[in-house]
């Protein structure tokens, strides 16, 4: 009688250990981030301009999905990630005003005409060394999260996230 009890005790212990192993996540695993209702203004091969889709960052890759079409960009190949707030801070004066209309700084240009949106601009290098850029429009409040997710996945930027978070939105003045 002692043998069946020992077997059932060992079986229960083995099941608990196996179950804990399945539930545990590796230390280096990255939490996937998904951003629905994203518009790719331009810049992705195989995706039409102004295409609506879902952008996600997982396994070190930025993925944009439009229906059955999917484009992956390794985060390590992204050399610049900028939000609309970044371009407001880094662009100033007459030269800055003129450069707002440049392709990869296009997010600032778009934000002049629309409210309640966030923009995200990327500059990346393809497998053959060609430099490309892409501009996305996200739901308001999502661009900082997307930028952080990309940086955590290995992308680079010239404007650190801490600086952007410290800036915050400018307080609105009350009308008198």
Residue-range domain boundaries for the chain: 33-167
Q: At 1, which helix (H) or strand (E)?
A: none
Give the pLDDT confidence score for residue 31 in this predicted structure.
65
* pTM of the complete model: 0.64
CA 91 vs CA 24, 67, 162: distances in Å: 45, 36, 18
Give the pLDDT confidence score for residue 95 in this predicted structure.
43
Phi and psi at 92, nearest 5°, equal -155, 165
The set of residues, in sequence order, having a beta carbon less than 8 Å from that of 121 and lying 6+ positions away, is 80, 81, 82, 83, 87, 104, 105, 106, 107, 133, 134, 135, 136
Cβ contacts of 98-103, under 8 Å, gap ≥ 24: 103/42, 103/133, 103/135
CA distance 52 to 64: 9
Cα–Cα distance for residue pair 88/107, rounded to 1 Å = 10
C-alpha of 124 from chain center: 13
What class does CATH assign to 33-167? Answer: mainly beta
pLDDT of amino acid 147: 94
Do the Cβ atoms of 52 and 39 come closer than 8 Å? yes
Q: What are the backbone angles phi and psi of residue 86, rounded to the nearest 5°?
A: -60, -45
Cβ atoms 75, 60 nearer than 8 A: yes
pLDDT in tens, the chain (176 residues): 455 554 454 455 444 444 444 443 333 345 689 999 999 999 999 999 999 999 999 999 999 999 999 999 999 999 999 988 765 544 444 444 444 554 555 544 444 444 578 899 999 999 999 999 999 999 988 999 999 999 999 999 988 876 555 555 544 444 55
């Amino acid at each position: 009688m002692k043998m069946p009890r020992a077997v059932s005790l060992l079986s229960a212990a083995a099941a608990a250990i196996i179950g804990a192993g399945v539930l545990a996540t590796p230390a280096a695993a990255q939490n996937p981030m998904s951003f629905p209702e994203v518009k790719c203004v331009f810049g992705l091969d195989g995706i039409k301009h102004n295409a609506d889709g879902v952008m996600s960052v997982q396994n070190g890759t930025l993925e944009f999905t439009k229906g059955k079409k999917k484009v992956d960009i390794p985060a390590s190949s992204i050399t610049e990630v900028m939000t609309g707030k970044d371009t407001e801070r880094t662009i100033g004066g007459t030269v800055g005003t003129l450069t707002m209309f440049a392709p990869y700084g296009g997010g600032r240009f778009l934000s002049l005409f629309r409210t309640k949106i966030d923009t995200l601009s990327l500059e990346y290098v393809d497998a053959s060394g060609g430099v490309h850029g892409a501009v996305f429009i996200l739901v308001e409040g999502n661009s900082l999260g997307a930028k952080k997710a990309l940086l955590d996945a290995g992308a680079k930027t010239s404007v650190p996230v801490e600086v952007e978070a410290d800036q915050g939105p400018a307080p609105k003045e009350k009308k008198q």
